[in-house]
Structure 1
Amino acid sequence: MDQELLPFTFEELMAAFAQQWSRLVDLFLTPGWRQYQIVIALIVFLVALCLKAATKNRWSAWARAREGWPKWRLRILVQVMRRLTLVYFVLLCWLVYLVMQQLTWPSRSYIVGVLATLASAWLAIALLAWFVRNRTLRKIFQWSMWIYATLVALRLTDDVASFLDGIAISLGDLHISVLGILKAGLLIGVLLTVVRLATHAASRGLEANDDISPSMQVLLAKALQVGLYGIVFLIAIRTLGFDLTGLALLSGAVGVGIGFGLQKVVSNLISGIIILMDRSIKPGDVISLGDTFGWINALGARYVSVVTRDGREYLIPNEDLITSQVVNWSHSDRFVRLDLEFGTSYSDDPHLVRAVAIRAVKSVSRVLSGPGHNPVCHIKGFGDSSVDYVLRFWISDPTAGLMNIRGNVFLALWDAFKAEGISIPFPQREVRLLEDDDSGADAQQLPKE
């Protein structure tokens, strides 16, 4: 950093600030049109407050009636409603400024023009800041843009830019200044906001396209997101003045070292790409992996989110889905066949039992009936104390649960068998106590109550 240049530049900047400050003080203290403009601005502000109080309810009623508008338009309308006073002040300031430009000398409307410009900039910045979701970044964006707009209105941008450019570090051909860092930060912030909006719009467009499978939609959205963020990263590096040739050599060496330490992470990333490309699972599928049964909520770059019936969300690494046996209940279609086993007494007619069982299962709401999905009941075998049957039926909504549908079918069977007099046997055992006839042994005595 140039030690001689910095104090000189700082002194120039302070002198420029002092000059502008003295001009502002003179504007307020010198009698004449300058004070008249300040009074006019105060009157405009009071009129804006009165207009807000008089029209707020009407605007609110009109906004509530906009039910058919898209969400983004409604959100912008809400932001405008919150700043209704500022909106009125901007409109009135510009109207007064244009009228004064026509009726009097331009110098007699200078302050009103500056206030109109500042108010317009503040309103635009407040509305644009809504697109920045992160609160910290939003505050940084607002304050930085407000400061910049104020400097532009006071015509101090060149002096501040010269001062910030003088605070720099030079290493060979590399020149990094505070001004360059601020420009790079502002550019990166704008690009990141644009990329986020673009990726969200692209994701919504892909989801609305029925010709693209859900897994391919996720793959394309992730590829677009990675590509755009990579471009932003390269632009940021170039904006700061770094040479990408040296960075490429350094990143290659660092990448080899990171690869050995992040084998699992890389494996999960590659497994995620394979899952998305072969479309073995997709969002909404019902899967079983070990003791985990649920439906896929989202596919990530490193893991798959699986939500179970009890509301738990499991984050399963992509590698486990590639190397383990996974049951996909809805891979090719959403039809699932369930089997229930039961037994009846030998005294019950098996033809009647089968007919009653089929009629009972068809009465359950989620059970399908139709060609290819009709319930069937078969004799499985002759057990020790019952005739064993298997009842097979189909459902099309496994995400609604399997245990509950099994319970409903068992209840239907219970009610139907009770109405038809069909009994469900249970094992019975007889215990006999034999006396010991051997005279040399003591007879076993049972305790008496």
Structure 2
Amino acid sequence: MSYDTAVIGGGPSGLMASIAAAEHGSKAILIEKGKKLGTKLAISGGGRCNVTNRLPEEEVIRHIPGNGKFLYSPFAVFNNYDIIDYFENMGVHLKEEDNGRMFPVSNSAKSVVNALINKLSEQNIDIRMNTPVKAIHYGEQEHTIILESGEKIQASSVIIAVGGKAVPHTGSTGDGYEWAKKAGHTVTELYPTEVALTSDEPFIKQKHLQGLSLRNVALSVLNKKHKPMITHQLDMIFTHFGISGPAVLRCSQFVVKELMKGREAVPMQLDVFPDESEQQLFQSMITAITNNPKKSIRNVLKHVIPEKLLDHMLAQNNVDGDQKAAGVAHNVIRSLVQHLKKFRFDVHGSLPLRKAFVTGGGISIKEIVPNTMQSKIMHGLYFCGEILDIHGYTGGYNITSALVTGRIAGMNAALEASSLGS
């Protein structure tokens, strides 16, 4: 079979690329190895699908610390606001939640996935499900996709949209990297991002804080000089292996990159009360003690500090929790406050890439034309989505990158295919 444009991968970028190619006049085929389209979209945002983010373009790019600046050119053609309009025009009404995150009003990812699938059928795109690709042979005029069944598909333009290696149960198993290398592309080192971190600290090993959930804390990754290189103020949780939760996920890529440089441990610093100064915190504790001098220090402070954390901090400061509050010296309270404002611990690793939300690394963006997503090395070859060396924080940023790069790849693959055909 021969097509103008063949898209491999039915995730967010592949769906968008297929639709864009067909809308720009291509006879298109979408090849998906799994039995469902849009699997990653269906599970994103806890099954509600965080379609994009409404923050200004600059802010969106700032939230894509992995080569986000590459997206300035694609955004000039199709950006996060265009994504919102696109779905609204398809009848998927969106609503804004905290930090600019956009969700379907239906609160169901299915409405997003179904709208895209309906669009595919409207555009008469040939869809092949349960169809793994074995190899791609690059030709002088057109390329040949060899399916595992042995069938061959010819196409003037090929778009590789197979994702990275994170969340492999959705089908992202890294198939595309070898096809890219065969075309002459560089694949930068892959690593987990948006991932939980592991620690060998005794208090972690002994599960002292396991299950402790902290709201609105400031978590920092410290450099070799013990100065913060990044700080995120969000929620976090202590686990049986280390730390997780939104603040940790956002800090994780900075930790992973430091560990990749050969550091055995990366220090982190936690400020449990980022909105209060040391003096304010000290004063509120002294007031609580003054008002309840006969109660135990533990009973007085458990209303200020989460109990598990309080027990840990009291032990760190050699304070007996049953001691009467009035008997605890002011310098001990100051030390407690300092521990709460600058709780330092080391992390030693992360969960593996397959447990990460997002893949770091991928096809080098230096080899991609930013405003077309075309390979600089091979004619008729395009890349989009997470296979590229672009990664953002969770919050709609990675899906935005996937939908934008997919749209641009599809449009330009169609234009190249039509210029060959004419």
Same fold (TM > 0.5): no
Larger relative helix fraction: 1
Larger strand percent: 2
- TM-score normalized by the length of structure 1: 0.22
| Structure number with larger C-alpha Rg | 1
Greater RCO (Cα-Cα under 8 Å, separation 6 or more): 2
